[in-house]
Structure 1
Amino acid sequence: MTIDKAIILSAGQGSRLLPLTANMPKCLIKIDGKAILDHQLDALKAAGVDHNVVVGGYRFEKLAAHVEARNDGTSVRLNPFWLAASSISSVWAARDLLDGDFALLNGDTVYATDLLAKGFAACKPGLNLFVQPIAEAELDDMLVEVEDGMVRDVGKTLSPAQARYRSLGIIVGREDKGLYRAALDTVISREGGILNFHHAIVAEIARQDGVHAIVVDRDDWIEIDRPEDIAAWHDRRA
């Protein structure tokens, strides 16, 4: 399938990576000599996605300068509420793009170049979440409960006995007619809604309309939260 546009959520500082993020956003940390963001944009290009938007916040000026230097048509948007709200506020900053065919990606994840293209090809009409089967949950995993190929629930506090998958932080809408945007409005309008991780939107749709689980049973990807994650990626690629 062809994805018209991708939104990369890159507003946070990444305080657990200090001092690496003392003066730059997390997405600009270099992995294998290349910024996390560049890994993602190159993977999106390989998957045929030409319209990419990066939502930033912390050290926004450095993010904007980096994207401008790429000169590949990627644009940036500011989430001015990044410090007071959770990742759902970055989704809100790009809510006008959330229809038709789109991809939402966490801005702190590195993966093999072909992972996106293969995952996109497996997506079905409606909402899709990339997940990986796990034997044991790790710290900060966004856990996912899957049954008969469908996501039943998503959250960091789910029971590991039932939630046997983790999210890759890649959400794809295909032929979406406003379902995801409507769920965003519902979740963010609740009391304390701005404090939700954006996966709460996926959970909302999973309970109401259904979300397809795109199973990625491979280890050539990693979420970069701590210095040891960088070391772990290097070990995998060695």
Structure 2
Amino acid sequence: MKAIILAAGHGSRLLPLTLTTPKCLVQVGGRAILDHQLDAMAEAGFDGAVIVGGYRIDQVAAHLAARDGGVPTELVFNPFWSIANSIGSVWAARAYLEAPFALMNGDTLFDAPILRAAVADPVRGVTLVIEPLDEPGLDDMLVEAKGDRVVAVGKHLVGHQATDRSLGLIVSTGGGAYAEALRAVIGEDEGIHAYHHAVVRRLAETVGVRAVRIAGDVRWQEIDRPEDIALWQHDHRALADGLSRS
């Protein structure tokens, strides 16, 4: 199982931190977001990672070259990073989409057990990792799920009832279904401006997508704004303090 990390964008909502630094290299708790991700993948048993870069990709390349150990990495360039949405980065990684993969955003931190659980299930097909929705957040990718089946996914679910939020973690056990859906979505009018979850939506409407809900005692955090950095650091500092007292 390889990870595909979408890390091409600018990260304008993290300015001024991303003024001269790609978002995936922004420091959270003293380490780059990308290092958090790669270390969690190593702990979860991944075979490697494909990083899709764009904005200041030279810095990403230098950072990967300086890493000592961990999962093997490959860097792919998305030349459309400034004009296309996240689906453009998936398109740049299309050569890897027929083998088993776990696709994730380059701005999201996961505890390793989330990654282990996402790839542990042997059921074939495409899986979306979700968590129950208490109250929608500003940037949530909303999901309607019935049991373990994804019904709909999108920023706005017109005609659907949001039950969960997506973690942006998509797993495929291999085959051509995901790549075929990607080609269909990006080929539509304005397809390059779609979020890559549009591929999941298309699969949910055709061959089906399985939903996997995370346990309540694991943590993840999308790093979109400076306050998200503070929240992740606070939660993990509190966790560390609790473990030391026990």
Supply the distance in 2 between the matched residues of 1:135 and 1:149 (Cα, whole angstroms): 18
Aligned residues between the structures: 234
Q: What are the equivalent positions in structure 2 for 1:207-222 lying under 5 Å apart?
A: 207-218=205-216, 220-222=219-221
Shift of the alpha carbon at 1:80? 0.6
Determine if contact 2:144/2:160 at 8 Å carries over to the other structure: no
Determine if contact 1:131/1:165 at 8 Å carries over to the other structure: yes
Supply the distance in 2 between the matched residues of 1:119 and 1:194 (Cα, whole angstroms): 27
SS at match of 1:100: coil
Determine if contact 1:7/1:53 at 8 Å carries over to the other structure: yes
- The residue aligned with 1:56 is 53
Could you list the per-position Cα deviations for residues 162-201 of structure 1 after superposition, in whole angstroms to 9, with x for gaps in the alignment? 1111111110001x22000000000000110000000000
Supply the distance in 2 between the matched residues of 1:123 and 1:63 (Cα, whole angstroms): 33
Determine if contact 1:133/1:164 at 8 Å carries over to the other structure: yes
Determine if contact 2:144/2:152 at 8 Å carries over to the other structure: yes
Supply the distance in 2 between the matched residues of 1:64 and 1:100 (Cα, whole angstroms): 24
| Change in CA separation of 1:160 and 1:35 when aligned onto 2, cut-off 3 Å | farther
Shift of the alpha carbon at 1:12? 0.5
Structure whose alpha-carbon radius of gyration is higher: 2
Determine if contact 1:52/1:74 at 8 Å carries over to the other structure: yes
Check if 1:81 corresponds to 2:80: yes
SS at match of 2:100: strand
Determine if contact 1:123/1:172 at 8 Å carries over to the other structure: no
Q: What are the equivalent positions in structure 2 for 1:162-201 lying under 5 Å apart?
A: 162-174=161-173, 176-201=174-199
Q: Which amino acid aligns with 2:190?
A: G
- The residue aligned with 1:101 is 100
| Change in CA separation of 1:172 and 1:64 when aligned onto 2, cut-off 3 Å | same
Shift of the alpha carbon at 1:68? 1.1
- The residue aligned with 1:230 is 229
Shift of the alpha carbon at 1:160? 10
- The residue aligned with 2:33 is 36
Shift of the alpha carbon at 1:159? 5.4
Check if 1:114 corresponds to 2:113: yes
SS at match of 1:76: strand
- The residue aligned with 1:145 is 144
Q: RMSD across aligned C-alpha pairs, in angstroms? A: 1.5
SS at match of 2:235: helix
Unaligned runs of 5+ in 2: 239-246
- The residue aligned with 1:8 is 5
Supply the distance in 1 between the matched residues of 2:97 and 2:13 (Cα, whole angstroms): 30
SS at match of 1:197: coil
Deviating above 2 A after TM superposition, structure 1's stretches of 4 or more consecutive aligned residues are: none
- The residue aligned with 2:202 is 204
Q: Which amino acid aligns with 1:191?
A: D
Could you list the per-position Cα deviations for residues 27-52 of structure 1 after superposition, in whole angstroms to 9, with x for gaps in the alignment? 10111111111111111111211221
Unaligned runs of 5+ in 1: none
TM-score, normalization: structure 1? 0.94
Determine if contact 2:182/2:199 at 8 Å carries over to the other structure: yes
Q: Which amino acid aligns with 1:49?
A: F
| Change in CA separation of 1:160 and 1:208 when aligned onto 2, cut-off 3 Å | closer
TM-score, normalization: structure 2? 0.91
Supply the distance in 2 between the matched residues of 1:34 and 1:99 (Cα, whole angstroms): 32
SS at match of 1:20: coil
| Change in CA separation of 1:120 and 1:97 when aligned onto 2, cut-off 3 Å | same
Check if 1:68 corresponds to 2:65: yes
Report the more deviating stretch, 42-51 or 140-149.
42-51
Report the more deviating stretch, 105-114 or 157-166.
157-166
Report the more deviating stretch, 161-170 or 61-70.
161-170
Could you list the per-position Cα deviations for residues 67-118 of structure 1 after superposition, in whole angstroms to 9, with x for gaps in the alignment? 1111543111110100000000100011010013111111001121222112
